[in-house]
Chains A and B, each alone.
Chain A
Amino acid sequence: MSDMIIETDRLTRDFRIRGKGTAALKRSTLRAVNDLQLRIAPGESVGYIGANGAGKSTTIKMLVGILVPTSGSVRTCGLDPHRERRRLAAEVGVVFGQRSQLWWDLPVRESFDILAAIHRLPGADARRRTQEVIEQLELTDFLATPVRQLSLGQRMRAEVAAALLHRPRLVILDEPTIGLDVLSKQRLREFLLTERQTHGTTLLLTTHDMGDIERLCERVLVVDHGSTVYDGSLGGLARAAGSDRILVLDFADATPDLIGIPHTTHLGSDVGGARQRLAFDSERTTAAAVLAAVGQQAQLRDLSIEEPDIEDVVRRIYQARR
């Protein structure tokens, strides 16, 4: 037996889908996860990214035993997630951004008490741990508030606390920061970092937020059509994805499309050319050189530089493969 905390071998999952109307009689098969090889060692923190529909959620569901693989194998914390689901539940904490583990009509505090009882945490230990997550996630102000009255940021922090109450060895977070304000994101990330440092918790998270990956993950996995297409560090990901930066240029007047500036690609024009977007390769030219070249052709009024977001990075990785 290996000592990996997550290990899959040719993990595959098909869904049978039916069309509508007369097509309902025909069934087709959609392969959501395809021969996935995943090996994650205890203590790692891994960002699992990919476009919508790339198979992230399906993989997570197989990792925790909600879905059964069509073929291949999966072991989580050394257990068969489906057969040994109840034992695994003690070792894993999961936060689904879209599903709540709290009782919507109960005060936050009571949800924690119930979960402590469900996980059979001994009284003194339950109190100590509850206090710990309350302090670190700064939940004190709304402990007596029913869950349904919480803001999204407050609720997500409470969700994370609920998922980590039983000190799981492995924490899986599916879009934990989606829709959160900057401050809530910050608190959540700090908590997860502390949790890793003090308990050696393994993190696996899916996200659309580059900040989550930068702050939390040492390793990034990019998945496309159910298979891993990139596995490595964040820095390596930027190199693999290309180092294009995007300049958004505002001009005083309508300007013809800026084609032919060295080492740039014209991405598009708005307002009759008064706003244009140019991608430039930061390894071959500089923003200053591009601006100088642009300045010779038009009167520049304002500009901004866009960092690549996760969708862009993922898209470029996908494109590079095809």
Chain B
Amino acid sequence: MTNFSETVDAPGRFAGYRAVLASRVRSQRSYRSNFAFDLASSGFVGVIELVEVWLLFHQVSVLGGLTFAQVLLVFGIADLCHSFADLFVGHCDTLPEYVRAGTLDVFYLRPQPLLLQLMTSDISLRRITRAGVALAALVIGLSINDIHWSVAAVGLLAVTIVSAIAIFSAMFVWAAGTQFFLIQGAEFTNAFVYGGRYAATQPAAVWSAPLKVLFGFVFPMALSAYVPALWLLGLPGPIGLPTWLAWCTPVAALWIWGFALFMWRLGVRHYQGGGG
């Protein structure tokens, strides 16, 4: 009698997640003027970020060994991937609110993993315009630079985009896990999540050694856009970041996801009072 779910026309394993996400999309689009405003403001923020980079290069023609045209490529990859991660899992930021409102306790009452429920509990469609700005920057960056196109180059670009989206998503997840035991911890984690995004759009050659370790390897921001861009441009890497590392972006994504899941588990254990 309890095995209704095993009969033939039972919804699939992902039907529940799909139903939630579809409802979020409908809900956001149902307030048309509101949605249009959100789209516009998100796109505007993207443009501002881009102008900021441009202004920097108004003062200097080369920064960290890159010209503005070349940095456009770094910015494009990093911001595109961050925007997509933000679109899908950026709301993990709101975990403290979920805890306060008891939404998290409600997650416990559903036959799904907690983290998957959190990740699929919302979707921020408005980020699509910001991703659009970043995509434009990437396309321009790819066309105005002298890139030797090959199967390897196309493959690297594809692998990089997928891995970088994963890396930025993992940043949101570990930050969420940390919120369980840090009261008002969002400011601390934002320094890494959004500071990391900013770092990812910059040429890492100008960083000091500790920063290279932090945002090069611990939080693999440099690997998500800068190093792959160097490889595409055929430029040498700075000390500590050789360009062959461009192929290690998936490894970096695995590492940061491992870290994110560890922090998430630690946070959940803390919440349940099971340890720590």
User: Which residues of A come within 8 Å of B, CB atoms?
Assistant: 13, 15, 61, 64-68, 70, 82, 85-87, 89-94, 96, 98-101, 103, 105-106, 110, 113-114, 116-125, 163, 169
Contact A120 B273 (CB under 8 A): no
In the assembled complex, which residues on chain A have CB atoms less than 8 Å from the CB atom of B20?
A: 114, 118
Cα distance, A125 to B10, chains bound together (Å):
9
Contact A98 B102 (CB under 8 A): yes
Contact A64 B108 (CB under 8 A): yes
Cα distance, A13 to B272, chains bound together (Å):
11
Contact A120 B27 (CB under 8 A): no
Q: Is B154 an interface residue (CB 8 A)?
A: no
Cα distance, A65 to B108, chains bound together (Å):
7
Q: Is B9 an interface residue (CB 8 A)?
A: yes
Cα distance, A93 to B111, chains bound together (Å):
11
- Minimal beta-carbon separation of B23 from chain A (angstroms): 6
Q: Which of A70, A101, A118 contacts B16 (CB 8 A)?
A: A118
Q: Is B2 an interface residue (CB 8 A)?
A: yes
Contact A122 B105 (CB under 8 A): no
Q: 14 A-B residue contacts at CB 8 Å?
A: A64-B109, A70-B273, A85-B108, A86-B112, A89-B111, A91-B2, A96-B102, A99-B102, A114-B16, A114-B19, A117-B15, A118-B112, A123-B11, A163-B109
Most buried by A among B7, B103, B111: B111
Q: Is B148 an interface residue (CB 8 A)?
A: no
In the assembled complex, which residues on chain A have CB atoms less than 8 Å from the CB atom of B103?
A: 99
Instruction: Select from chain B the residue with minimum beta-carbon distance to A77.
Output: B2
Cα distance, A5 to B10, chains bound together (Å):
27
Contact A68 B108 (CB under 8 A): no
Q: Which of A89, A105, A122 contacts B110 (CB 8 A)?
A: A89
Contact A118 B272 (CB under 8 A): no
In the assembled complex, which residues on chain B have CB atoms less than 8 Å from the CB atom of A93?
A: 109
Q: Which of B2, B7, B16 contacts A169 (CB 8 A)?
A: B2
Cα distance, A99 to B23, chains bound together (Å):
20
The residues in B between 217 and 276 inclusive whose CB is less than 8 angstroms from any CB of A are: 272-274
In the assembled complex, which residues on chain B have CB atoms less than 8 Å from the CB atom of A90?
A: 2, 5, 111
Contact B19 A117 (CB under 8 A): yes
Contact B23 A125 (CB under 8 A): no
Contact A96 B105 (CB under 8 A): yes
Q: Which of A66, A123, A125 contacts B105 (CB 8 A)?
A: A66
Contact A99 B11 (CB under 8 A): no
Number of A-B contacts (CB under 8 A): 100
Contact B15 A100 (CB under 8 A): no
The residues in B between 97 and 123 inclusive whose CB is less than 8 angstroms from any CB of A are: 101-103, 105-106, 108-113
Q: Is B18 an interface residue (CB 8 A)?
A: yes
Q: Is B4 an interface residue (CB 8 A)?
A: yes
Contact B274 A82 (CB under 8 A): yes
The residues in B between 101 and 149 inclusive whose CB is less than 8 angstroms from any CB of A are: 101-103, 105-106, 108-113
Q: A65-B108, A163-B109 are in contact. List 12 more A-B contacts (CB 8 A).
A: A66-B105, A68-B273, A89-B110, A99-B105, A106-B27, A114-B23, A117-B18, A117-B19, A118-B20, A118-B111, A120-B12, A122-B5
In the assembled complex, which residues on chain A have CB atoms less than 8 Å from the CB atom of B111?
A: 86-87, 89-90, 118-120
Q: How many chain B residues touch A (Cβ–Cβ < 8 Å)?
A: 31
Contact A67 B102 (CB under 8 A): no
In the assembled complex, which residues on chain A have CB atoms less than 8 Å from the CB atom of B274?
A: 68, 82
Contact B109 A89 (CB under 8 A): yes
Do A94 and B9 form a contact, CB below 8 Å, given A66-B272, A68-B274, A120-B16? no
Contact B9 A124 (CB under 8 A): yes
Contact B2 A120 (CB under 8 A): no
In the assembled complex, which residues on chain A have CB atoms less than 8 Å from the CB atom of B109?
A: 64, 89, 92-94, 101, 163
- Minimal beta-carbon separation of A25 from chain B (angstroms): 16
Q: Which of B23, B101, B273 contacts A110 (CB 8 A)?
A: B23
In the assembled complex, which residues on chain B have CB atoms less than 8 Å from the CB atom of A106?
A: 23, 27
Contact A103 B23 (CB under 8 A): yes
- Minimal beta-carbon separation of B105 from chain A (angstroms): 6
In the assembled complex, which residues on chain B have CB atoms less than 8 Å from the CB atom of A70?
A: 273
Cα distance, A185 to B27, chains bound together (Å):
31
Contact A122 B11 (CB under 8 A): yes
Cα distance, A87 to B4, chains bound together (Å):
14
- Minimal beta-carbon separation of B10 from chain A (angstroms): 5
- Minimal beta-carbon separation of A143 from chain B (angstroms): 15
In the assembled complex, which residues on chain B have CB atoms less than 8 Å from the CB atom of A124?
A: 9
- Minimal beta-carbon separation of B113 from chain A (angstroms): 7
A-B complex: 6 closest residue pairs judged by Cβ atoms: A99-B102, A118-B16, A68-B274, A117-B19, A89-B111, A120-B5
- Minimal beta-carbon separation of B9 from chain A (angstroms): 5
Contact B105 A86 (CB under 8 A): no
In the assembled complex, which residues on chain B have CB atoms less than 8 Å from the CB atom of A169?
A: 2
In the assembled complex, which residues on chain A have CB atoms less than 8 Å from the CB atom of B27?
A: 103, 105-106
Cα distance, A123 to B15, chains bound together (Å):
12
Q: Which of A64, A100, A113 contacts B19 (CB 8 A)?
A: A113
Contact A121 B16 (CB under 8 A): no
Instruction: Select from chain B the residue with minimum beta-carbon distance to A169.
Output: B2
In the assembled complex, which residues on chain A have CB atoms less than 8 Å from the CB atom of B11?
A: 116-117, 120-123
Cα distance, A105 to B122, chains bound together (Å):
12
Contact B112 A82 (CB under 8 A): no
